[in-house]
Each structure stands twice: as C-alpha cells, then as structure tokens.
Amino acid sequence: MRQWLAARPVAAGYILAVGSALSYGTAQFVARIAVTRVAPPLVTTAFALLFGALFLLPLGIGHFRRARRAPGKAWLFIVLAGLTAASGVAFMYSAFSLVPLVVASPLGSVYPLVAIGLTHLFLQRLERVTPRLVAGAALVVAGVVLVVVGSA
C-alpha cells in the first residue's frame, strides 16, 4: 500500500483528503453529542485531543529522532501549529454546544480561506494562490452562507 501511495502522490492526496473529510465529519457529529449530553466543551476537547495523541503516538514514534534534531525555529512552528489546532478544536466544540451542528460545521469549514490568505502572505515562494483557487474558495463561502441562512 505504501508503495502504491508513493507512486501516485496526487491520487494518494485525494484519497487522504476524502478520508480526512469522513473523519472530521464523523468527529463533529460525535462531538456534538458529547458536548450536549456528556461533558462541557473544554473537557470534551481535552479528552478528544488526548485520545488523538495516544492514537498518533505509535504511528509517529519512528520519526521522533529526526524531529528532535530540527532547529529551534522549526519547533516554534510545530508548537504554534499544535496550539492553533487545539484552539480550533476547542472553539468548534464550544460552538457545537451553542448552535446546531448544521450551522457550526459549515462555518468552521471556511478555515481554508484563512489558510489561503496566510499562504498568499507568507508562502509565495512555495505555493501560488491563483484566481481559480480564490474563486473556488468564494464558492465555498457562498455555500456556507446559503447553509447558514437556510437554517435560520
């Protein structure tokens, strides 16, 4: 399987992205149940991140040696990524406790717009933000607006 993925990186990327969508969608559904019936949003966030870390630890343990040798600036980005991702989960779970899932989930799904903006500002040498990409993002936002307005 690993060889197939390595030989077809674009196909692998699409497959992994679909897997991500399925996982995130299921996680949001489960989180909505948890924050409305089981525990407060921050407790749910803490447990979700704990179990996520425990799940990922065995998968990434072999890469820790290389990561330990990373320069300090790289560790700064790793820490910032972790803090912002954890904050995003906490904000989303808090939203799930206050508004319906069908509203919070699409609103939370506009995060690629933030990524596109930051990419354009800071990663111009690595990635290009094209008009076609911006148009696709605008369609996503339009879809979110329709979902939110339609559910009101």
Determine the residue type at 123.
Answer: L
For residue 68, being part of any structural domain is answered with: yes
In a domain, 129, yes or no: no
Is 83 domain-assigned?
yes
Residue 55 lies in a domain: yes
pLDDT of 56-112, one tens digit each?
Answer: 999 888 888 788 888 888 889 989 999 999 999 999 999 999 999 888 888 888 888
Residue closest to 133 by CA, chosen among 144, 122, 117, 148: 117
Would you say residue 149 lies in a domain? no
Q: What is the CA radius of gyration of the chain?
A: 18
Q: Tokens 């969608």 belong to which residue?
A: 25
Residue 143 counted as domain residue: no
Cα 102 from Cα 96, distance rounded (Å)? 9
Any domain includes 114: no
Expressed as residue numbers, the domain containing 81 is 2-109
In this prediction the pTM is 0.79
List of residues 6+ apart from 90 with CB closer than 8 A? 41, 42, 45
Tally of domains within the chain: 1
- The pLDDT score that the predictor gives to residue 1 is 63
